[in-house]
């Protein structure tokens, strides 16, 4: 369904609009990696191994990611004009920045850790179905390109709320874990897991970034 959405947008937006969208998504991908910082893989492993203290693990990752989201959004909103000279692309990127909140605070990794994969699969299906349906219903011309990041963000809000609802039902409301020393130690141990993904991201979308920057 993601491929269907991409093909539809390529046809509706045309080369210019789809190029602007692709550049914004390529830049956004690095910020998504930054707010992850290996925490998803590390958190899944820790949850799978922990017989107790699951709440503390969730609290640590929730707190760390909240800080990373604030840092990422501040950087993105401040420096968006420097990523491109195109006003349209800049506005798309600014709107896309808000998706960092639901993506960063989603709890899919918890359910992977406890092997409740049905909940993860349903949440993914909800997100992409919601996104595809609204894209087809609402985006009919290149002039409606700014609707796309809004739809994308809303689809991830629904995705994250579904996961949160299931988490609360089983374990209660997640709580923040305020300890700079413990949280930094946890983050530092998770960072190596994201290094390979970061370089893979460069490999896969460097051409999009360079072309976008060159053309403005």
| For the chain, domain boundaries | 2-215
> What digits encode the pLDDT tens for the residues 129-140?
999 999 999 999
On the question of pLDDT at 198 being above 80, the answer is no
- pTM here? 0.88
Give residue 87's pLDDT: 87
Q: Average of pLDDT values for 186-202? A: 71
What's the token pair of residue 75?
């950087």
> What digits encode the pLDDT tens for the residues 20-49?
898 888 889 889 988 988 888 889 999 998
What's the token pair of residue 170?
């089983």
Q: Return mean pLDDT, the chain.
A: 88
CA distance 58 to 176: 8
| Higher pLDDT, residue 17 or 1 | 17
Give residue 125's pLDDT: 96
**Nearest CA-CA partner of 153 in 112, 94, 89:** 94
Give percent of the chain above pLDDT 90.
57
- Other CB atoms within a 10 A radius of the CB of residue 199 amount to 10
Q: Are 90 and 78 in contact (CB under 8 A)?
A: no
On the question of pLDDT at 121 being above 60, the answer is yes
**Nearest CA-CA partner of 144 in 152, 135, 154:** 135
């Amino acid at each position: 369904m993601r491929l269907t959405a991409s093909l539809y947008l390529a046809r509706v937006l045309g080369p210019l609009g789809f190029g602007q969208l692709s550049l914004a998504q390529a830049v956004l991908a690095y910020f998504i990696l930054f707010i992850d910082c290996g925490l998803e893989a590390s958190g899944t492993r820790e949850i799978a191994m922990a017989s107790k203290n699951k709440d503390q693990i969730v609290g640590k990752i929730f707190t760390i990611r909240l800080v990373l989201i604030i840092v990422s959004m501040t950087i993105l909103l401040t420096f968006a004009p420097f990523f491109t000279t195109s006003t349209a692309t800049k506005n798309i990127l600014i709107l896309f920045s808000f998706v960092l909140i639901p993506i960063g605070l989603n709890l899919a990794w918890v359910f992977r850790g406890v092997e409740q994969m049905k909940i993860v699969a349903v949440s993914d299906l909800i997100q992409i179905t919601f996104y595809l349906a609204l894209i087809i219903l609402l985006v009919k011309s290149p002039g409606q390109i700014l609707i796309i990041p809004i739809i994308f963000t809303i689809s991830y809000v629904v995705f994250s709320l579904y996961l949160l609802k299931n988490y609360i039902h089983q374990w209660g409301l997640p709580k923040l874990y305020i300890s700079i020393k413990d949280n930094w130690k946890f983050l530092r141990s998770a960072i190596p897991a994201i290094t390979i993904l970061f370089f893979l991201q460069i490999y896969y979308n460097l051409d999009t970034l360079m072309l976008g920057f060159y053309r403005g």
